[in-house]
């Protein structure tokens, strides 16, 4: 996406609009700091015909709170963050997901944003006529979007539906994100189906020819001796191996186990395990950091048996995952030099579900 004075000015205009509604001098200082650090990265995702509505300095949770900033445009929200390596996510304002307030404090509100890669962000509260966390959350709620969710472009231009970059009408490949925009090729399912049917027919004919030849007299089967014993059917291990950098463990084979999802540039590895009774266990691995419950913890840490050098059980409330967004959940913390930090969340604080999470935690060891 092309950048320049127009794009940077869109950012400054949005910041000025937000400043006008917030009289707290702390907000002006936070905005200046966020613009100084993140302006080039934010502007790189803004088109010449975009309109900025709101600019908000914030923090993003990645095992710890990272500084970030967000620019609300007419059809999407640009979110950037990072203390050393800046990352970003583009969130369409019209989407299936929403936003939830998971931790409301006097001085700040933590929001859980449901999007392609769900995030927890913390927005400070300031003095003034605008409540910044609520206003920002409303821009991320599709039902609050009153205006037409598109930029006003010249007749010969349009937006890429993937990165929202400005492109010429009829462009087949977006010059900004490289996505193919042309017509989708016609389905060849009928051709594949015909080939499969032909192959099946050939197999049937071949089988008939092979079985239709001269048949030999069947040889008598040997009679088993009195000492022969029937072989026992092999028993399948009810558990399966799970692993990550520096660790391995076991989980029930009956669980549906997702692949590893890499977030934050590989610094956070996530995996989800689901049981038939609504059980949801998530394993969050931060190889470079210890696991901790953050501001979601309620009560004191409880001891937990495991092979880790340090392990505890925390109870968390309104944690930033769907199954824990409005309830208390267990958070099993395993910290060890061999693997860094592992947090195992489960949508229960007692009973069989918590026992299942504890069994997984107890099986984890260095490898």
Tell me the mean pLDDT per 10 residues along the chain, length 367: 63 92 92 93 86 94 93 92 90 84 92 90 90 92 61 73 76 77 66 86 84 57 51 70 91 90 80 91 92 90 94 91 88 95 95 94 94
pLDDT of residue 213: 54
Per-residue pLDDT at 97: 75
Please give the radius of gyration of the chain, using alpha carbons only, rounded to the nearest integer.
28
CA dist 101 and 109 (Å) reads 7
| Domain 241-366 class, CATH top level | mainly beta
From-to residues of CATH 2.30.29.30 in the chain: 5-150
- Other beta carbons less than 10 A from residue 6's beta carbon: 14
Distance separating alpha carbons of residues 321 and 100, to the nearest angstrom: 10
CATH 2.60.120 in the chain, residues?
A: 241-366
CA distance 103 to 357: 24
**55-90 burial by CB neighbour count: b if 16+ within 10 A, else e?**
bbbbbbbbbebbbbbbbbbbbbbbbbbbeeebbebb
Pairing assessment for the beta strands 65-73 and 157-159 based on DSSP bridges: unpaired
Architecture per CATH, domain 5-150, reads as: Roll (2.30)
pLDDT given for residue 195 in this prediction? 86
pLDDT of residue 166: 76
Cross-strand bridge partners of residue 252: 239
pLDDT at 30: 95
Q: Is the pTM of this model over 0.85?
A: no
């Amino acid at each position: 996406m092309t950048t320049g004075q127009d794009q940077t000015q869109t950012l400054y205009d949005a910041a000025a609009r937000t400043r006008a509604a917030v009289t707290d001098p702390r907000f002006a200082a936070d905005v200046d700091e966020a613009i100084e650090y993140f302006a080039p990265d934010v502007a790189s995702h803004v088109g010449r015909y975009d309109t900025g509505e709101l600019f908000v300095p914030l923090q993003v949770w990645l095992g710890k709170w990272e500084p970030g900033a967000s620019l609300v445009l007419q059809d999407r929200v640009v979110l950037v963050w990072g203390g050393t390596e800046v990352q970003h996510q583009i969130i369409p304002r019209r989407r299936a997901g929403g936003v939830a307030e998971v931790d409301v404090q006097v001085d700040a509100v933590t929001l859980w944003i449901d999007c392609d890669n769900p995030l927890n962000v913390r927005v400070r509260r300031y003095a003034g006529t605008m409540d910044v966390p609520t206003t920002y959350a409303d821009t991320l709620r599709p039902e609050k979007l009153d205006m037409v969710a598109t930029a006003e472009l010249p007749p010969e231009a349009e937006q890429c539906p993937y990165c929202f970059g400005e492109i010429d009408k009829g462009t087949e490949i977006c010059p900004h994100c490289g996505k193919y925009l042309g017509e989708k090729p016609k389905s060849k399912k009928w051709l594949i189906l015909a080939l499969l049917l032909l192959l099946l027919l050939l197999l049937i004919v071949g089988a008939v020819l092979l079985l239709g030849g001269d048949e030999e007299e069947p040889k008598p089967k040997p009679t088993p001796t009195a000492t022969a014993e029937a072989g026992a059917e092999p028993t399948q291990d009810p558990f399966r191996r799970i692993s990550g950098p520096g660790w391995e463990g076991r989980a029930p084979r009956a669980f549906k186990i997702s692949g590893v999802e890499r977030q934050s540039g590989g610094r956070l590895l996530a995996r989800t395990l689901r049981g038939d009774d609504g059980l949801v266990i998530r394993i969050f691995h931060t190889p470079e950091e210890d696991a901790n419950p953050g501001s979601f913890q309620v009560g004191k840490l409880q001891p937990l048996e495991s092979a880790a050098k340090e392990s505890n059980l925390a109870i968390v409330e309104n944690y930033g995952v769907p199954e824990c967004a409005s309830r208390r959940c267990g958070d099993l913390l395993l910290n060890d030099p061999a693997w860094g930090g592992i947090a195992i969340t489960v949508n229960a604080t007692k009973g069989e579900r918590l026992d299942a999470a504890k069994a997984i935690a107890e099986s984890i060891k260095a490898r």
